[in-house]
Amino acid sequence: MATKPAIPKGTRDFSPEEMAKRNYIFNTISNVFRLFGFQQIETPAMENLSTLMGKYGEEGDKLLFKILNSGDFLSGISPEDITSGNTNKLAAMLCEKGLRYDLTVPFARFVVMHRNEISFPFKRYQLQPVWRADRPQKGRYREFYQCDADVVGSDSLLNEVELLQLMDEVYHRFGIRVSIKLNNRKILSGIAEIIGEHDKIVDITVAIDKLDKIGLENVNEELRSKGIPDSAIAKLQPIILLQGSNREKLAVLRNELSLSETGLKGVEELEYILDKLETSPLRSELVIDLTLARGLNYYTGAIVEVKAIDVQIGSITGGGRYDNLTGVFGMPGVSGVGISFGADRIFDVLNQLDLYPEDSLQTTQIMFVNFGEKEEAVCLKHISALRAAGIRAEIYPENAKMKKQMGYADAKKIGYVGIVGETEIEAGKINLKNMSTGEQKLLTLNEIIDLIK
Amino acid sequence: MATKPAIPKGTRDFSPEEMAKRNYIFNTISNVFRLFGFQQIETPAMENLSTLMGKYGEEGDKLLFKILNSGDFLSGISPEDITSGNTNKLAAMLCEKGLRYDLTVPFARFVVMHRNEISFPFKRYQLQPVWRADRPQKGRYREFYQCDADVVGSDSLLNEVELLQLMDEVYHRFGIRVSIKLNNRKILSGIAEIIGEHDKIVDITVAIDKLDKIGLENVNEELRSKGIPDSAIAKLQPIILLQGSNREKLAVLRNELSLSETGLKGVEELEYILDKLETSPLRSELVIDLTLARGLNYYTGAIVEVKAIDVQIGSITGGGRYDNLTGVFGMPGVSGVGISFGADRIFDVLNQLDLYPEDSLQTTQIMFVNFGEKEEAVCLKHISALRAAGIRAEIYPENAKMKKQMGYADAKKIGYVGIVGETEIEAGKINLKNMSTGEQKLLTLNEIIDLIK
What's the mean pLDDT when you consider all of chain A?
94
Please give the pLDDT value at position A3: 57
Tell me which chain A residue has its CA closest to the CA of residue B332: A2
Q: Is A140 helix (H, G, I), strand (E, B) or coil?
A: strand
Is there a contact between A394 and B72 if contact means CB atoms under 8 Å apart? no
How much is the average pLDDT of A390-407? Answer: 97
Question: Which among A14, A113, A376 has CB closest to B5?
Answer: A113
pLDDT tens digits along A323-368: 989 999 999 999 999 999 999 999 999 999 999 998 888 799 999 9
CB contact under 8 A, A82 and B70: no
Interface touch A7/B330, C-beta < 8 Å: no
**What is the per-residue pLDDT for A2?**
54
Residue B287 burial by CB count (10 A; 0-12/13-18/19+): exposed, middle or buried? middle
Q: What's the start-to-end Cα distance of chain B, in Å?
A: 51
Distance from the Cα of A446 to chain B's closest Cα (Å) equals 18
Tell me, what's the pLDDT at B209? 85
DSSP letters, A392-453, are -EEE-SS---HHHHHHHHHHTT-SEEEE--HHHHHHT-EEEEETTT--EEEE-HHHHHHHH-
pLDDT tens by residue, A182-240: 999 999 999 999 998 888 888 888 888 888 889 999 999 999 999 999 999 999 999 98
Spell out which residues of chain B touch residue A119, defining contact as CB-CB under 8 Å.
407-408, 411-412
- Gap from B251 CA to chain A (nearest CA, Å): 23
Which among B19, B70, B133 is the nearest to A70, CB-wise? B133
Chain B residues within an 8 Å CB radius of A44: 7-8, 11-13, 143
A6 contacts B113? CB cut-off 8 A: yes
Read off the pLDDT of residues A18-53 as tens digits, 9 standing for 90 and up. Answer: 999 999 999 999 999 999 999 999 999 999 999 999
Q: How far apart are alpha carbons A30 and A351 in whole angstroms?
A: 20
What was the pLDDT predicted at B280? Answer: 86
Nearest to A385 by CA among A441, A429, A445, A427: A445
Could you tell me which residues are beta bridge partners of residue A172?
none
- For residue B450, report the phi and psi dihedrals to the nearest 5 degrees: -60, -40
Contact A35, B363 (CB under 8 A): no
CA–CA dist B51, B329 (Å, integer): 8
Q: Which residues of B touch A367 (CB under 8 A)?
A: 37
Give the per-residue pLDDT at B3: 57
Residue bearing the bigger pLDDT, B109 or A83? B109
Do B45 and A112 count as a contact with CB atoms less than 8 A apart?
A: no
pLDDT for residue B1? 45
Distance from CA of A203 to the nearest CA of B (A): 32
Determine which of A1, A4, A9, A13 to mutate to test the interface with B (most B C-beta atoms within 10 Å): A13
Q: Do B191 and B266 contact (CB within 8 A), yes or no?
A: no
pLDDT in tens, A128-182: 999 999 998 888 899 999 999 999 999 999 999 999 999 999 999 999 999 999 9
How far B117 CA sits from the closest chain A CA (Å)? 9
**Chain A interface mutation, best of B67, B321, B381, highest count of A Cβ atoms under 10 Å:** B67
* B1, B4, B9, B13: best to mutate for the A interface, most A CBs within 10 A: B13
Residue B260 Cα, gap to closest chain A Cα (Å):
27
pLDDT band for position A78 (50/70/90)?
A: confident
By Cβ distance, the residue of B14, B95, B377 closest to A41 is B14
Q: Cβ–Cβ of B112/A5 closer than 8 Å?
A: yes
- Which residues of chain B lie closer than 8 angstroms to A67, CB-CB? 65-68, 99
This prediction has a pTM of 0.94
Residue B22 contacts residue B129 (beta carbons within 8 Å): no
3-state secondary structure of B111: helix
Q: What is the pLDDT along chain B (453 residues), one digit of tens a residue?
A: 455 799 999 999 999 999 999 999 999 999 999 999 999 999 999 999 999 999 998 889 999 999 999 888 888 788 778 777 788 888 889 999 999 999 999 999 999 999 999 999 999 999 999 999 999 888 889 999 999 999 999 999 999 999 999 999 999 999 999 999 999 999 999 999 999 888 888 888 888 888 888 999 999 999 999 999 999 999 999 998 899 999 999 999 999 999 999 999 999 999 999 999 998 899 999 999 998 887 777 899 999 999 999 999 999 999 999 998 999 999 999 999 999 999 999 999 999 999 999 888 879 999 999 999 999 999 999 999 999 999 999 999 999 999 999 999 999 999 999 999 999 999 999 999 999 999 999 999 999 999 998
Instruction: Look at B68 and A68 and tell me if their CB atoms are within 8 Å.
Output: yes
The neighbouring-strand residues paired with A152 are A122, A336
- Considering only the beta carbons, identify the residue of B6, B22, B151 that sits closest to A48: B6
Q: Does residue A7 contact residue B48 with C-beta atoms inside 8 Å?
A: yes
A292 against A287, higher pLDDT: A287
For B8, the closest of A6, A44, A279 (CB atoms) is A44
Q: Which residues lie below 8 Å from residue B346, measured CB to CB, with a gap of 6+?
A: B25, B174, B176, B316
Q: Which residues of B touch A88 (CB under 8 A)?
A: none
- pLDDT interval class at A1 (50, 70, 90): very low
B95/A68 Cβ within 8 A: yes
The confidence score (pLDDT) of residue B214 equals 92
User: What pLDDT is recorded for position B2?
Assistant: 54
Beta-bridge partners for A95:
A68
Instruction: Identify any residues that bridge with A288 across adjacent strands, giving them in sequence order.
Output: A182
Q: Inter-chain contact A3–B110, Cβ cutoff 8 Å?
A: no
Cβ distance A87 to B74 less than 8 Å, yes or no, reads yes
Angle at A439 between CA A436 and CA A443, to 5 degrees: 115
Domains of chain B by start residue, with CATH: 16-353 (3.30.930.10), 363-452 (3.40.50.800)
Are B389 and B375 in contact, with CB atoms under 8 Å apart?
no
In B136-294, where do the E strands start and end?
143-152, 178-184, 285-288
A73 → chain B, closest CA residue: B87
Residue of A nearest to B158 (CA): A397
Chain B residue numbers touching A54 (CB-CB < 8 A): none
